[in-house]
Amino acid sequence: MNGMLFEKLPLVNEISSPGRRGVLPPSADQSERRAARAKLPANLRRKAAPALPEVSELDAMRHFTRLSQKNYSIDAQFYPLGSCTMKYNPRINEKVAAMAGFARLHPMQESADIQGSLRIFHDLQEILKQVLGLGGVTLCPAAGAQGEFAGMAIIRAYHRDNNTGRDEVIIPDSAHGTNPASAAFAGFKVREVKSGADGCVDLDALRAAINDKTAAIMLTNPNTCGLFEKDIKEIARMIHAAGGLLYYDGANLNAIVGRARPGDMGFDVVHMNLHKTFSTPHGGGGPGAGPVGVAERLINYLPAPHVRKAGSKYEFYSPDRSIGKLLAFHANAGVIVRALSYAMSQGGTGLWDVATYATLNANYVLNNLPAVFERPFGNLCKHEALVTVRRISKEKDIKAFDIAKRLLDLGYHAPTIYFPLLVPECLLIEPTETESKETLDGFIAAMKQIATEIESTPDVLRNAPNELPTGRMDEAAAAKALNVCCQWGDVPMA
Ligand SMILES: *Cc1c(COP(=O)(O)O)cnc(C)c1O
């Protein structure tokens, strides 16, 4: 399965042969070209032909096709990257988003001319309101982190309008790094609370952190340990009783979509990542979307432009107390189209299945890994399986990092490692709902092989990857000596 990935390819210059060509159409008018060239100053004119590779059309096609197949991708391989929800995104959604009526719209077109697209915005807002259990949804934010910023700006505006003087945000130590960054960027002070031994928020630590400056708590649920916060209702009660608001980092909605709703848990503001749960391919840094849902009392603060239905027409408007614009235009529109196509093709029961199988698959992995992969928080998880190798890292000096590198040799993308920060030497494995039992069994078999190698051939792990075209990089040098690393072929090796 991975031959293509590991095969060392020649450079296109190495397969070059003088005089070999593809099909070249004759140029339209030789005399015109000569006249144009004559106008170039003599010192800028080429003395010799450029040293381009000379290959046949077929060789060029095969070379670049092989290169493209060296990409590790969801289309070809399993991608268990924790906290990222790297699931298969149905092709139908790509086709719909690429239809000329959507792809060729201009963002400055008049509302009257784009009623169909406004309806798509409106309908997706309505669906997400149901999914989140909240009164209003904006589709403006272009990513999860921007959704967090928008949500925190809304909370800030709310406290300002109500003269509460509250400027502190409580964030558990298991949170995604974007949470404290977004809160600080929106002007808040950040107060961290420690997790308990069970990986959930410690209620005593939370009680001690709440005071009359508490503006909000930012909570991820299921949290980054892959656990559902069991005291969620009590946490909501405590924060609300103290005059704060509840912010829900719903980037991991894949675990609960269609089954549990943040609004029902008491949350006031929620962001979700359409590029994780609602079918936009990501991982290459492409466009995403981080819609934000809010409770009724915050709808007036939503960013502009917002889409609403007025009679039989759809229109943009700016809510009275809007926090303003987040982007030059409306949203990453193609992502919105994909999400609506996905939601409608799944339907309510389909979304319920997403959460069911995402959770089942993660638990299957968690409970079938060999014992060296210890489970810090018991045998049950939600959409991702967190394990740690802290014992063998002490006893045998084998790190989570070594295991991640060895998985590359065995044909698997490494899971997320060293996150969440509160579990040392951890691996966070998110299989998602779209993978089959056979694929999960293959991954588990690779982890079993690694467990054997820890005993028999530990150096194979310490030196991994051994079988890729590139060996282990000196990661410190790669970060510190950029000018060296940028020279092709000059990447320092350990
Ligand atoms: C992915 C993720 C984010 C950030 O989302 P981006 O779209 O990458 O900005 C925030 N929180 C959690 C828990 C995430 O998994």
Q: Is the CB of 143 under 6 A from ligand 1?
A: yes
Rounded distance from Cα 470 to ligand 1 centre (Å): 30
pLDDT at residue 418, rounded to an integer: 95
pLDDT at residue 283, rounded to an integer: 77
Residue 257's nearest CA partner among 236, 278, 275 is 278
Q: What angle do CA 153, 176, 349 make, to 5 degrees?
A: 90
Which atom of ligand 1 is closest in space to residue 224's alpha carbon? 13
Q: Is the CB of 251 under 6 A from ligand 1?
A: yes
Q: What is the rounded average pLDDT for all residues in the chain?
A: 92
What are the domain boundaries of the chain?
A: 91-346
Kindly indicate the confidence band of residue 49, based on its pLDDT and cuts at 50, 70 and 90: confident
d(CA 206, CA 221): 16
Which residues have CB under 8 Å from 325's CB, separation 6+?
140, 303, 304, 305
Count CB neighbours of 272 within 10 A.
Answer: 30
Residue 491: pLDDT above 60? no
- Residue with tokens 């003088």, as numbered in its chain: 18
Which segments of 195-251 are extended strands (E)? 214-220, 245-250
Rounded distance from Cα 286 to ligand 1 centre (Å): 14
Kindly indicate the confidence band of residue 115, based on its pLDDT and cuts at 50, 70 and 90: very high
Rounded distance from Cα 77 to ligand 1 centre (Å): 23
Count CB neighbours of 268 within 10 A.
Answer: 26
Residue closest by Cα to atom 15 of ligand 1: 83
Kindly indicate the confidence band of residue 486, based on its pLDDT and cuts at 50, 70 and 90: very low
Rounded distance from Cα 138 to ligand 1 centre (Å): 17
pLDDT at residue 4, rounded to an integer: 65
Q: What distances in angstroms separate CA 167 from CA 154, 186, 210, one per listed residue? A: 13, 10, 12
Rounded distance from Cα 271 to ligand 1 centre (Å): 9
Residue 175: pLDDT above 70? yes
pLDDT at residue 203, rounded to an integer: 96
pLDDT at residue 487, rounded to an integer: 44
Q: Residue 330 carries which side chain, given as an amino acid letter?
A: H
Q: Is the CB of 220 under 6 A from ligand 1?
A: yes
d(CA 337, CA 139): 11
Selected residue with higher pLDDT from 434 and 48: 434
Kindly indicate the confidence band of residue 492, based on its pLDDT and cuts at 50, 70 and 90: very low
CA-CA-CA-CA torsion sign (423, 225, 269, 328): positive
pLDDT at residue 462, rounded to an integer: 96
Rounded distance from Cα 218 to ligand 1 centre (Å): 13
Q: Is the CB of 290 under 6 A from ligand 1?
A: yes
pLDDT at residue 7, rounded to an integer: 76
- Tens of pLDDT, residues 248-267: 999 989 999 999 999 999 99
d(CA 125, CA 137): 5
Mean pLDDT across the stretch 87-116? 94
* CATH T-level assignment (fold) for domain 91-346: Aspartate Aminotransferase; domain 2 (3.40.640)
Rounded distance from Cα 285 to ligand 1 centre (Å): 13
To the nearest whole percent, how much of the chain has pLDDT over 70?
Answer: 96
* Six token digits for residue 47: 């003395």
Residue closest by Cα to atom 5 of ligand 1: 144
d(CA 143, CA 331): 10
- Tens of pLDDT, residues 267-310: 999 999 999 999 999 877 779 999 999 999 999 999 999 999 99
Rounded distance from Cα 145 to ligand 1 centre (Å): 6
Which atom of ligand 1 is closest in space to residue 147's alpha carbon? 9
Count CB neighbours of 470 within 10 A.
Answer: 10
d(CA 393, CA 361): 27
Residue closest by Cα to atom 8 of ligand 1: 144
Which atom of ligand 1 is closest in space to residue 275's alpha carbon? 7
Q: Is the CB of 341 under 6 A from ligand 1?
A: no
Selected residue with higher pLDDT from 127 and 482: 127
Mean pLDDT across the stretch 115-143? 97
Residue 427: pLDDT above 70? yes
Rounded distance from Cα 222 to ligand 1 centre (Å): 13
pLDDT at residue 141, rounded to an integer: 98
Q: What is the pTM of this model?
A: 0.88
Residue closest by Cα to atom 3 of ligand 1: 144
- Residue with tokens 């934000």, as numbered in its chain: 292
Assign residue 411 a region (left: φ > 0; alpha: ψ between -120 and 50; beta: otherwise).
left
Residue 197 per-residue DSSP state: T
Pick from 87, 176, 224, 228 the residue to mutate for probing ligand 1's pocket: most ligand atoms within 8 Å of its CB: 176
